[in-house]
Amino acid sequence: MQDYSQLLIDKTDEITKQWLDSVIKDEEIQSSDHLSTEAIKDHVNDVMAALVTVLAEHQKSDVETITTASVHHGFLRAEQNFNPEEVVREYHLLRSIILKNLKEGMMQGTVEEAFRAISLINQMIDTAIAQCFKSYVETRLQELDTVILPLTVQVQEKKV
């Protein structure tokens, strides 16, 4: 069975660079315009490291790192006033760039091996999106609560 984890390790720096450049240049992600490179990149290294473990044949998959990094990413993106479409767009770009960079190496293996790797990558990116949105929505709801509570008190005071 082909192990694509080393291929991903070898390509991680280039994937990260391409992803950063894509996010910065993407007209659909305007909320990143005022952020530093480090603020944009916040979780990508953790996601890439965890993906390596998922693709490795003889290593325990580190799904927890993707989950933790994505929860933190959702919180940060809510704090940075990203809209949901921008957050999804970031993950879309990451998935596309990973697959583009691994394509040639995957073609050296069997169709079954490549399909397995693509499925695992898709599963982990989808998990990342789900966890990211969970914390993103929770953060946005907390922001709403800070606005609604004082308004509710004011309305109740006026009724009295």
Reported as a single tens digit per residue, the pLDDT across 4-28 is 999 999 999 999 999 999 999 999 9
Give the model confidence (pLDDT) of 52-76 as tens digits: 999 997 777 788 888 999 999 999 9
pLDDT at site 160: 64
Q: Tell me how many helices (H) and strands (E) the chain has.
A: 6, 0
Residue in the block written with tokens 């697959």: 99
**What is the Cβ-side half-sphere exposure of residue 105, based on CA atoms within 13 angstroms?**
17
Give the model confidence (pLDDT) of 84-128 as tens digits: 999 999 999 999 999 999 999 999 999 999 999 999 999 999 999
pLDDT at site 154: 73
Count the Cβ atoms, other than its own, within 10 Å of residue 51: 28
What are the structure tokens assigned to 134, written together?
Answer: 């969970």
Cα 122 to Cα 125: distance, rounded to the nearest angstrom: 5
pLDDT at site 43: 86
**What is the Cβ-side half-sphere exposure of residue 64, based on CA atoms within 13 angstroms?**
1
- Does the domain spanning 5-159 belong to CATH 1.25.40.340? no
